[in-house]
Amino acid sequence: IPAIGIGTWALRRNTSEVIAMAIQNGFRHIDAAWIYNNQRDVGLGIKEGLRRTGMKREDIWVTSKLWNDRHADKVSQGLEETLQQLGLDYLDLWLVHFPV
C-alpha cells in the first residue's frame, strides 16, 4: 500500500479536480467509500489524474469500503455498485467500513 494517500471523506466541491491534482502531485493511494456519496466524482478524478500523468490504473492503489447495510446479503451488489460509481474494473483493497 503506498505510504502517501488521500482520503475522500467530506470532499464535496471540486472533488474530481482535487483527486486529479493529488495524483499529479504524487499521491498514489485513493481512499473512498460508498457512504461518502462522492465516488462518481472520485472516479472521474482518478481517470483525469491518470490521463494527465500518463500513468495506468495499476500505478495507483484504490481502497473503498462496504457499508453497514450490506454485510449480510448484499456484498456482491455493494462491490459492483462501488466499481460502477468509481468507473473501475477492480479495487486494490475493499474494507468493511466498520463492523456492526
Domain count for the chain, please give it: 1
- Provide the pLDDT confidence category of residue 72 given band limits of 50, 70 and 90: confident
At 97 the pLDDT is 85
Structural domain contains residue 1: no
Q: In terms of residues, how long is the chain? A: 100
- The 10s digit of each residue's pLDDT in 41-66 is 999 999 999 999 999 999 999 999 99
Distance CA 52, CA 13 (A): 20
Task: State pTM to two decimals.
Answer: 0.94
Dmax (CA) for the chain in angstroms is 41
Of the listed 36, 42, 45, 63, which one is catalytic?
36
Among candidates 23, 16, 91, which has minimal Cα distance to 61?
91
Tell the residue number behind the cell numbers 475493499, with chain if given: 94
Structural domain contains residue 55: yes
Amino acid identity at 47: K
Residue 36 appears among annotated catalytic residues: yes
The whole domain housing 47 covers 6-96
- Pick 39 or 73 by higher pLDDT: 39
- Provide the pLDDT confidence category of residue 68 given band limits of 50, 70 and 90: confident
